[in-house]
Amino acid sequence: MPINLNHEAQVEWDKYLEASSIEEQIVHLERFVGVVVKHKGVENHLRMAKQKLKRLKATQEKMRQAKKGSGERWLVPKGEDAQIAIIGIVNSGKSSVLNVLAGSDSAAKVGAYPFTTVKPEVGSTTARGARLQLVELPAVVEGSVRGEMSGKLVLAGIRNSDCVILAIDLSQNPIEQLELVLKELSIGKIRLNTNRPPVTIEKVGSGNIQIFNSHHYEGKGNDEIIEIMRTKGYMNVIVRFHGSTTIDQFFDALDYTISYLPAIIFGTKGDLQGSKSNYSILANYISENQLPFKLIPVSSTNKEGFDDIEEDIFEKLGKIRIYTRNNVGDIAERPIILDQGSTIENAIEVLSKKMLRFFRFARIWGKSAKFDGEKVGLDRTLQDGDVIQVFA
Ligand SMILES: Nc1nc2c(ncn2[C@@H]2O[C@H](COP(=O)(O)OP(=O)(O)OP(=O)(O)O)[C@@H](O)[C@H]2O)c(=O)[nH]1
Ligand SMILES: [Mg+2]
């Protein structure tokens, strides 16, 4: 935390914390390093700032390379709090959505012809203080999973993300688009808005295959479970069912290569003719088939429907915001973003790994505090909006 900073340095530090892009962060950190008046009290802080600067520059370079995009550089390195993949069939309005969400931070080419985007396009935006890196991936097509139109790279790009925006063009048949994308993703081992199966598998030294709570299993019982596990090469394991599990879910539970990602559907081109009736058709289809998707109609051309979208994305991410407080009681404006269930230790890891070694205790305010300023250790679980002060 900033300690006894001279005014110019404090100003740059605050601007760094509020910056909404890597470029801005770098500018303010560089200025901070340039203007900070050095004394014993700021040594650690300065060292941390320099390390951050180095990391940011490395990330920036990687992003530059990814934008240039040779085959191997397709995976956009994560430089922000979360990476959001914008996906959909060809011409569904992905680049247009990216440009609206990222504003001047993106200049993805929009074209009336198919496959305008052939490499990932990157932009960024913020949601409740979290920095979101937006990555438009080239279109998902029939056969992506077999490698059509760089399909394998597209699917790898989706797996690399933390959340998916699926663009469905409301001026075209929406159900065909949804089915095509979900089919490719499903074969490509990507599950959207699907919980992991409620099964845990623990490898043990001996004892064959032991099964607990098999009454939750909706298949044919223990013999079938054992047979499936044997064919998958399992020897000595404890299998626990924590809730009702179908056979398909059981197969999924045994496959560690499946990715589970939160997702939102954008119904795009809401200003075009026929979009209203296609919206209803898609909404009905989603509810009749109990598909777990929120459907948001937007028009990139008219910039309509985007008002609450950052909120929706933040909600989907399952992240929490933690604010830090310095020794004079100032609370940082920009939160650090952590996964739900994170602890004080996880927060400090983000702030500075070194701080962990010299950790004494922390004080905490907010939902996780029994009372304001409660003294806690590294293992205290945090909740959204908590304020922490670290003593090291
Ligand atoms: N009327 C209208 N047209 C749109 C809207 N969004 C996109 N378009 C048009 O749809 C076409 C495709 O838009 P893009 O944003 O390039 O779509 P894309 O999914 O990125 O396309 P590819 O990268 O080629 O797969 C362009 O002609 C856009 O002008 C919208 O909200 N309203
Ligand atoms: Mg595009």
Structure tokens at 184: 């490719």
Ligand 1 pocket, residues with Cβ under 6 angstroms: 88, 90-96, 110-112, 114-117, 139, 268-269, 271-272, 299-301
Give CA–CA dist 316/310, Å, rounded: 10
Structure tokens at 221: 């019982």
Longest dimension (CA), the chain: 72
At 302-330, the pLDDT tens digits run: 999 999 998 899 989 999 999 999 888 89
Contact 242, 139 (CB under 8 A): no
Q: Domain 319-392 belongs to what architecture?
A: Roll (3.10)
Give CA–CA dist 256/132, Å, rounded: 27
Domain ranges of the chain: 1-68, 73-193+262-317, 199-253, 319-392
* Of 313, 334, 307, residue with least CA distance to 323: 334
Which of 89, 90, 95 is the pocket-test mutation for ligand 1 (most atoms within 8 Å of CB)? Answer: 95
pLDDT band, residue 67 (cuts 50/70/90): low
Region of 305 please: left (phi>0), alpha (psi -120 to 50) or beta.
left
Question: Given a cut of 90, is residue 361 above it in pLDDT?
Answer: yes
* Of 187, 129, 127, residue with least CA distance to 163: 127
Atom from ligand 1 closest to the CA of residue 272: 1
Contact 387, 373 (CB under 8 A): no
Region of 203 please: left (phi>0), alpha (psi -120 to 50) or beta.
beta
Domain range 73-193+262-317, its CATH number among 3.40.50.300, 3.30.420.40, 3.40.50.740, 3.40.462.20? 3.40.50.300
Contact 331, 365 (CB under 8 A): no
At 5-61, the pLDDT tens digits run: 888 888 888 888 887 788 888 889 999 998 888 888 888 889 989 988 998 888 887
Which amino acid makes up residue 297? P
Which of 106, 110, 302 is the pocket-test mutation for ligand 1 (most atoms within 8 Å of CB)? Answer: 110
Cα 387–Cα 391–Cα 392 angle in degrees, nearest 5? 135
Pairing state of beta strands 263-268 and 199-203? unpaired
This model's pTM is above 0.85: no
Structure tokens at 242: 């924590």
Among protein residues, the one with the nearest Cα to ligand 1's atom 23 is 117
Give CA–CA dist 254/234, Å, rounded: 9
Atom from ligand 1 closest to the CA of residue 115: 24
Atom from ligand 1 closest to the CA of residue 110: 16
Q: Which helix (H) or strand (E) holds 133?
A: strand 130-136
Place of tokens 């299998």: 239
> Is-same-fold flag (73-193+262-317; 319-392)?
no
The mean per-residue pLDDT over the stretch 167-185 comes to 98
The pLDDT score that the predictor gives to residue 172 is 97
Give CA–CA dist 199/328, Å, rounded: 48
DSSP string of 45-70, one letter each residue = HHHHHHHHHHHHHHHHHHHHHHHH--
At 232-291, the pLDDT tens digits run: 888 899 999 999 999 999 999 999 889 999 999 999 999 999 999 999 999 999 999 999
Structure tokens at 13: 């530090």
pLDDT band, residue 63 (cuts 50/70/90): confident
Pairing state of beta strands 121-127 and 374-376? unpaired
Which amino acid makes up residue 221? G
The pLDDT score that the predictor gives to residue 240 is 95
Q: How far is the CA of 289 from the centre of ligand 2 (A)?
A: 29
Give CA–CA dist 324/48, Å, rounded: 15
3-state percent helix, strand, coil for the chain, nearest multiple of 5: 40, 20, 40
Among protein residues, the one with the nearest Cα to ligand 1's atom 25 is 90
At 196-209, the pLDDT tens digits run: 999 999 888 887 89
* Of 369, 70, 377, 178, residue with least CA distance to 387: 369
Q: Which fold has domain 1-68?
A: Methane Monooxygenase Hydroxylase; Chain G, domain 1 (1.20.58)
Exposure b/e, 95-130, CB count within 10 A at least 16 = b: bbbbbbbbeebbebebeeeeebbebbbbbbbbbbbb
- State the sign of the Cα–Cα–Cα–Cα dihedral 249, 253, 257, 259: positive
Q: Give the SS3 label for residue 41.
A: helix
The pLDDT score that the predictor gives to residue 72 is 46
**pLDDT cut 70: percent of the chain above it:** 97
Q: How far is the CA of 123 from the centre of ligand 2 (A)?
A: 13
